[in-house]
Amino acid sequence: MTDLADHLCPAAQRLIAVLGRWVTLRRQGATTYDPQSGTVTSSGTEVALKGLIEVDERTEGADLAGTLRLRLTLAADDLDPPPGLADLVAIDGTHFAVTAVTARHAGGRPALFTLHLRR
């Protein structure tokens, strides 16, 4: 890693820790269906972490269909494996679908992940 990246990654983590809000990342695991009982089970996990939340400027709140679009920036060191499109994010009890994930790299490794969310 470069000298600059050695300083930027920890600085980004500290800023998110101080300025961020608590969110819950729900990772979707393998889903199984039991035909005998008709039940569906998932082996997903939940991770509570802090992130920076922004309203996506494309919508500035809710569009005509009531869809709220947000961007959530997370420190990459808090996430292994990286978030994916099958994951869900809960913010203050409201669930959002992940529609895109963008990685910001520093020194050849991810420093931040930006999740584009839709309710």
Q: What are phi and psi of 19, to 5 degrees?
A: -95, -15
The region that residue 48 occupies, defined by phi over 0 for left and psi between -120 and 50 for alpha, beta otherwise, is beta
pLDDT average per 10 residues of sequence, the chain (119 residues): 69 90 89 84 86 78 68 88 92 94 86 92
pTM, 2 dp: 0.79
Q: What is the pLDDT of residue 32?
A: 80
Q: What is the pLDDT of residue 31?
A: 77
Spell out the domains of the chain, with CATH numbers in brackets. Answer: 3-118 (2.40.10.270)
Task: Determine the Cα–Cα distance for residues 4 and 23; give it in Å rounded to an integer.
Answer: 29
Q: What is the pLDDT of residue 65?
A: 61
